[in-house]
Structure 1
């Protein structure tokens, strides 16, 4: 007779084995490259922290990530608020608008924005036809275009945790605040936002982690002028063949994201983000 506990471990065994093969072993290999290529030591980590070019990439990644996170969370809050408290027809419309982007490849979305924002794209041609501009605006191949593409991708990831937090607010509290004479802005700043702050902070951390690892969107919309960490690592691997530096930057990025994850776990309970 097989004991229930033994059955439990037998059924569970494939998962840690899969994680070990697909995550732990590659992680150990990358960690090894960071201290052995081209020679043993921590020289590559010293270059990550001291090379102006590498530092510039890291700072650019942080700057773009922070701006994209701020914009995504702000817009995501507005969408989530209307999704939770809006009329039924608006809720259904927002559901489609939030879910449909998940069915579209990030590559297709990036090229779509490139068509819209390039010098002879629909946006510049429309502004020129209206007489608002005399020459095309530089909307792509820079940080501005990169941020627009990132925000478009990240908004849904901000909407879900914020909407989950908003759904936990008792509508009677908002009605009571309104009955006591509080206006909409006061209710927002003193009631709704503080009570949904768990979802806002969670959304900010989740979105920021996603933003740090963007590759396709900055590569297409940045046009090589707004290189972020992921693209820089790719260039080090497949163009300059500097695997040691690429591995060191990967480890630094992984450690930073792990710290953010621990901060998220410490700042709030994960079950609140999923509405439990």
Structure 2
């Protein structure tokens, strides 16, 4: 029985994940003709480079903003009362359970020219004309950050939950100020969770499709949407497969870096 269970999970993972991905790899080298033509096109095509640059730029901005916001929320959660913690968890989980499609359309209502935010800005006299806040990178980043903050928050909260607050008290007792205590004690202790949150957010952001497609309005195309276009609009399965392989390779490198950095970030026994 134990032997059967031992081999069942690897076989299931192989059937569900490995075999389909190997099929994608095969397409990337065989369609429309065998060879490295699709990867050569990726290396030479300026349009593809622009899509990749846009994707990595938006993912990087999203990662920084989401992790910073999540760290602030996690800090408030760690030092809040029991009631305060429950309220923070509720306000984080409610949007987390809402569909990305609903959230994207909600942001359109908020950010569009006659939306809530622009009407408020004009009504208060801060601007004279509506600002362009949607169907551009700004709108995409806003929607993605809103979606990704909970994903960044959970690893950071895990680090805070394992924090020994006596170390903070000792630092203050030895004369360190709040800022020095933060940079030399609190932040290093929560660094593994912060690194994990950053990698998780960046990796998940690479695969975003619905939010950029809606809030970008066709003007901001990220790699997932571009792969979709190659598959279902242009029927260029080879190029789409090659782009998917490149994205998976980037994700693999990031996961490897997470393991390396996570290991070095943890305190070492002496």
Q: Say whether 1:183 aligns with 2:207.
A: no
Partner SS state of residue 90, structure 1 = helix
Distance 1:9 1:78 in 2: 47
Q: Say whether 1:18 aligns with 2:40.
A: no
Q: Say whether 1:74 aligns with 2:101.
A: no
1:223 paired residue among 208, 217, 231: 217
Deviation at 1:15, TM superposition (A): 2.9
1:118 paired residue among 91, 97, 112: 112
Distance 1:254 1:77 in 2: 28
2:168 paired residue among 174, 199, 202: 174
Distance 1:224 1:17 in 2: 41
Number of the residue aligned with 1:136: 130
Distance 2:194 2:215 in 1: 28
Number of the residue aligned with 1:211: 205
Number of the residue aligned with 2:194: 200
Distance 1:146 1:16 in 2: 38
Number of the residue aligned with 1:253: 247
Number of the residue aligned with 2:54: 60
Number of the residue aligned with 1:164: 158
Deviation at 1:242, TM superposition (A): 0.7
TM-score (norm 1): 0.92
Distance 1:158 1:209 in 2: 11
Distance 2:160 2:166 in 1: 13
Which stretch of structure 1 is more off in the superposition, 23-32 or 47-56?
23-32
1:8 paired residue among 2, 13, 20: 2
Stretches of structure 2 that go unaligned for 5 or more consecutive residues are none
Mapping of 1:224-239 within 5 angstroms?
Answer: 224-239=218-233
TM-score (norm 2): 0.94
Distance 1:22 1:136 in 2: 49
Which whole-Å deviations, capped at 9, do the CAs of 1:77-115 have from their partners, x for residues lacking one?
A: 001111111222221111111222232111111111111
Partner SS state of residue 237, structure 1 = helix
Query: Any runs of at least 4 consecutive aligned residues in structure 1 with deviations exceeding 4 A, and if so which?
Result: none
Deviation at 1:170, TM superposition (A): 1.1
Deviation at 1:167, TM superposition (A): 2.1
Deviation at 1:163, TM superposition (A): 1.3
Which whole-Å deviations, capped at 9, do the CAs of 1:42-68 have from their partners, x for residues lacking one?
A: 010011111000000001111001100
Deviation at 1:20, TM superposition (A): 2.7
